[in-house]
């Protein structure tokens, strides 16, 4: 019998979508927060914060990634291995955006192809680790897991997992994204500034080569200007942000039901990806990501089997939706030619059309004699060449590149036109995590990719 207290229970779209199903599954690489009450308060606070991205932008990106999967656009995704709170400064953000824009110019001009610009930015603050602990001089503490979880300083206090950092990660991402939007929409990214972005750099070979190209673009623009062309398209760029969606305590509260479509979007970024260490088929990450509408990336390391690829496609993209799924292979220069073809072929034979991009960084890690985590620039370049060779041989599309880079003049990767050697690492190594390409190495890589694309 109905009474006055009875409420009409409306179907909850988050329940229908199964957004919390991941809680019943094993979740790798999660923090061990000590203070559960503090965690609950942070989750409640995060779930009240405005979304960082709008679902409509996410849908546009999905369409553009579908273009890339067909060879009609190219995805350029780059940024820090791990963003830090301290480095979310105007200068550092500007330098990274600038580097990505310069690479985009090289690619757009060299390959005459639209480039989708995407940062590993505004959310890339949680890191999976191969070991839970780190030992220094006989002292063992929890490993650094990114600023969203703990601090890099090697003290018990700093290394404790603190849920309040999730809120700081959100606010830092919000201010980073705000500046990115200001730069890319407000005039800084105008193609007529193509020279400005290279200021202060022109003395090394990659920068000199860029300068030559910028002059050609300048001339072409002035010519078109004299012809009375309309330059609206040159004024601004669409810039997307992405990160590894590692922490459920961050991603779940930022996942919202879009009022236009009634479906869930993870509003922490436009594209989110699943890392090599969390892509277990029956794990929490794959389940959670299968239920959101964002384009999803999945890293594929050298032990990936064709069946893994097929099962990932079935779980993450059951409807074979164009632009939904991006595979980011990170095989290592010595393995890509051997390991990638069977994966690409399996996907192709299944009728799926994922976007294939190359991460030439994570399969090429080395430790130098003087103790730095580094990568040889030649290996990075060789993996990129291998990626193009594999797709050429199979008649499939090499659709993008995923790199760790910074716009600053660091020395973290070995080689390149400045010929950075092991001793130089001691002078200009700043990364708290993986080694990044510096500004000129990033440009040099862009020229290589542009050449490969133009050949295609």
By rule CB under 6 A, what string of x and - marks binding of each residue 113-132 to ligand PEP?
Answer: ---------------x----
Residue 258 site contact among Mn ion, ligand PEP, ligand TRP, none (CB < 5 to 8 Å, cut-off depends on kind): none
Burial environment of residue 436 by CB neighbours within 10 A (0 to 12, 13 to 18, 19 or more): buried
* Nearest-10 Cα torsion for 289, 80, 247, 286: 20
- Specify whether the CB–CB gap between 294 and 267 falls below 8 A: no
Looking up tokens 């509408």 gives: 293
CA distance 222 to 445: 28
By rule CB under 6 A, what string of x and - marks binding of each residue 178-197 to ligand TRP?
Answer: -----------xxx------
Using alpha carbons, select from 276, 265, 293 the residue that is nearest to residue 402.
276
Q: Which stretch binds ligand PEP (CB under 6 A): 14-22, 145-153, 269-277, 334-342?
A: 269-277
**Which tokens hold the place of 316?**
């993450």
- Specify whether the CB–CB gap between 453 and 112 falls below 8 A: no
Q: Can residue 99 be called a binding residue for ligand TRP (CB under 6 A)?
A: no
State in angstroms the smallest separation of the CB of 133 from ligand PEP: 18
**Which tokens hold the place of 168?**
């700081």
State which residue, 117 or 165, has the beta carbon closest to ligand TRP.
117
State which residue, 128 or 341, has the beta carbon closest to ligand PEP.
128
Q: Can residue 434 be called a binding residue for Mn ion (CB under 5 A)?
A: yes
Return the residues of window 225-254 that contact ligand PEP according to CB under 6 A: 244
Q: Can residue 81 be called a binding residue for ligand PEP (CB under 6 A)?
A: yes
Residue 101 site contact among ligand TRP, ligand PEP, Mn ion, none (CB < 5 to 8 Å, cut-off depends on kind): ligand TRP
State in angstroms the smallest separation of the CB of 299 from ligand PEP: 4
DSSP of 242-294: EEE---HHHHTTTEEE-TTTS-EEETT-SEEEE-TTS--TTSHHHHHHHTS-S
Among 19, 27, 81, 328, binds Mn ion (CB under 5 A): 81
Using alpha carbons, select from 275, 262, 180, 261 the residue that is nearest to residue 14.
262
Q: Can residue 436 be called a binding residue for ligand PEP (CB under 6 A)?
A: no
Among 78, 123, 146, 275, binds ligand PEP (CB under 6 A): 275
The residues binding ligand TRP (CB under 6 A) are 101, 104-105, 108, 114, 189-191, 233-234, 237
The residues binding Mn ion (CB under 5 A) are 81, 434
């Amino acid at each position: 019998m109905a009474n006055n207290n009875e409420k009409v229970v409306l179907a909850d779209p988050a329940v229908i979508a199964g957004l919390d199903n991941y809680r019943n599954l094993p979740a790798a690489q999660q923090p061990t927060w000590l203070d559960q009450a503090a965690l609950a308060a942070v989750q409640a606070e995060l779930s009240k914060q405005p979304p960082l991205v709008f679902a409509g932008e996410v849908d546009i990106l999905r369409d553009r990634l579908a273009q890339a999967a067909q060879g009609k656009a190219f995805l350029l995704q780059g940024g820090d291995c791990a963003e830090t709170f301290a480095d979310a400064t105007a200068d550092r953000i500007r330098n990274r955006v600038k580097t990505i824009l310069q690479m985009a110019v090289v690619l757009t001009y060299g390959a005459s192809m639209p480039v989708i610009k995407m940062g590993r930015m505004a959310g890339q603050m949680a890191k999976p680790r191969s070991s839970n602990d780190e030992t220094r001089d006989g002292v063992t503490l929890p490993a650094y897991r990114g600023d969203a979880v703990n601090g890099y300083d090697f003290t018990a206090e700093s290394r404790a997992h603190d849920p309040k950092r999730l809120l700081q990660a959100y606010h830092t991402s919000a201010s980073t994204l705000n500046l990115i939007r200001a730069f890319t929409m407000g005039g800084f990214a105008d193609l007529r500034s193509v020279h400005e972005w290279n200021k202060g750099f022109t003395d090394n070979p990659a920068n000199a080569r860029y300068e030559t190209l910028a002059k050609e673009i300048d001339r072409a623009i002035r010519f078109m200007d004299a012809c009375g062309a309309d330059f609206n398209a040159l004024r601004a760029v669409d810039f997307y942000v992405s990160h590894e969606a590692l922490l459920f305590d961050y991603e779940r509260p930022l996942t919202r039901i879009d009022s236009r479509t009634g479906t869930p979007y993870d509003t922490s970024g436009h594209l989110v990806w699943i890392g090599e260490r969390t892509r277990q088929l029956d794990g929490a990450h794959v389940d959670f990501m299968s239920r959101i509408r964002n384009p999803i990336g999945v890293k594929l390391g050298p032990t990936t089997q064709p069946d893994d690829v097929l099962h990932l496609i079935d779980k993450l993209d059951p409807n074979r939706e164009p632009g939904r799924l991006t595979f980011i292979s990170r095989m290592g220069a010595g393995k890509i030619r051997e390991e990638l073809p069977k994966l690409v072929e399996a996907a192709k034979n299944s009728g799926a059309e994922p976007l294939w991009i190359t991460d030439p960084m994570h399969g090429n890690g080395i430790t130098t004699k003087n103790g730095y985590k580094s990568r040889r620039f030649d290996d990075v370049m060789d993996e990129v060449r291998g990626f193009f060779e594999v797709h050429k041989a199979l008649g499939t599309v090499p659709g993008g590149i995923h790199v760790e880079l910074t716009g600053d003049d660091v020395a973290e990767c070995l080689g390149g036109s400045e010929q950075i050697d092991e001793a130089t690492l001691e002078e200009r190594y700043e990364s708290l995590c993986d080694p990044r390409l510096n500004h000129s190495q990033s440009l040099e890589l862009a020229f290589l990719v542009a050449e490969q694309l133009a050949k295609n």
